Structures are given as C-alpha cells and as structure tokens.
Amino acid sequence: VQKPANPWEFYINTCLDDRLQPAVRHLFSSIRSAHLFHNGSVMLGELHNYGTLLNAVNIYRTLSDKVMPQPLILYFTVCILHMVEQLHSVHVIHADIKPDNFMLGERFLENKCFDSDSVDHGLVLIDLGQSIDMQLFPEGTAFTARCLTSGFQCTEMLSGKPWTYQVMRMEEPFYLQIGWMDADSITRCRKSLRNPHSDLWLEFFDTLLNVPDCGSLPSLRSLRCRLTSVLQQNYSSKLATMKSRLVIKLLENHRAARR
C-alpha cells in the first residue's frame, strides 16, 4: 500500500518483465497487479517471509561478535553485485540500494549452492519506485540532480559531477562514511576497516567511490570475481555452516514475530 500512488514502480516492474531473462527475474520484486487511485495505490507481489538483509545484520549486532562473519559479508556482497549487474545490463538504475531493500524468502533458506554465478541465493531486491529507465534517454545521457535525503548521495552528487550508474553511498550506523582527501576529490573510507581482508575492502570501496567519469564505469563483474576468489580460497569449507546458523536465527525470529 502506497500513499501517494506510485505508478512508476509498476512501470519499472513491467520493464524488468520484458527485458530480463526469465532465469533471473526472481532476483527482483515482481508486481502481479497494481490498483491505482487518486490518493494511493495497492500493488500485489510475492511475500518474502524472513525479513531483510538489514534484519540479518541486526541479528549479529545482538550477539557477542557484534558483526556478521566475514564469509557471509563476502557472500552477500557477491550476490548483490551480481544482481546490480543484471539491472544495469537492461539499462535500469535502482537508485535506492540499501540493506533494507533486500528481502529474504524461502529460496534463501533452501539454497545450498554458493557459486558466484548462482541465481538461487534467495536475495530479492525490492522498492523499484526510485528507479531510472535509461532507455528513455538518448545514449550518453548523464544527470546532475541531487538526492535531497542526507546520506543517500553518491560522491558525484556531493562534488557536483554528472552521474549515471555510480553506486550510492549511505551513512551510519550501518552504512559507509567517506572523507575527502585532496583537491581532486579522491575519497576514502573515514573509518578504518578491521578485518582479515581490509586491503581488499579498501580497494573495493576506492574503486566504487572514485569513478573517473560516466564513461569509465568500473566492472562490477571484475569486482565480484575478486571477492569470489577470496571467498573460495579462505572460506569454502565454512560458508555452509555459517549460513545454516543464520537460517536458524531467521527462523527463530520469524516464529517469535508470529506469536
């Protein structure tokens, strides 16, 4: 239920129906019907019962370690990069990617395949109402508008540069903070990263935050392959167990919410 009505979200969903391969369509919300009124809209879609990726992150914040295990962080990042690749390949910019827009459903609980190209991981990206259909614009179009919500502006918006597919950034407590290093607007993480792969993550964020221009976008596939390599070399024997523990926590939370 949306107030005011947002027919654009229904339009973007129909674009994905037309453009995406059927094998990957389930990676994104699918609206089966839309009922539009002058003061609101009702859209019918698939139910995803086990919360959001943000809920999963918050589960670990209540435990002794306070953070999600590194293998799961790498795994979720690989999955997200693959999903964004799919969207960009059909000329759609989501424009509101954040942990609470990734839903977990039955497929996530059942999946036991951790291949980087697998589309059965169970994450579903929702909330397409802010998306941009690049097919409606001439080739080479870039934007200069700025998002008015604090913390949801990409570095190009902050520095007044044109943007298209650049990744959005987000602020505390769960998101990334950046800092300006010199007159060339080179950005780096404001907080030091303390984990076994800090150099990898710093390189990852620097690549996404320091896109030279709209004609020199980084390869998400290359980044995904780099993270996948680290995941397989270091955690291939641990990932299934850690995911199973997360599934148990999600099921416990789901049962508690229904009482």
Task: Just list the catalytic residues.
Answer: 96
Of 226, 233, 215, the closest CA to residue 165 belongs to 215
DSSP output for 143-170? B-----STT---HHHHHT--BSSPPP--
β strands within 38-119, DSSP E: 40-45, 92-93, 102-104
Which token pair is 103? 């839903």
DSSP helix/strand/coil, 44: strand
Q: For residue 14, which of 25, 5, 1 has the smallest C-alpha distance?
A: 25
What's the rounded Cα separation, in Å, for the pair 148 and 152? Answer: 8
* CA–CA separation, 252 and 259 (whole Å): 11
Collect all residues with Cβ–Cβ distance below 8 Å to 62 and sequence separation of at least 6. none
Phi and psi at 132, nearest 5°, equal: -120, 130
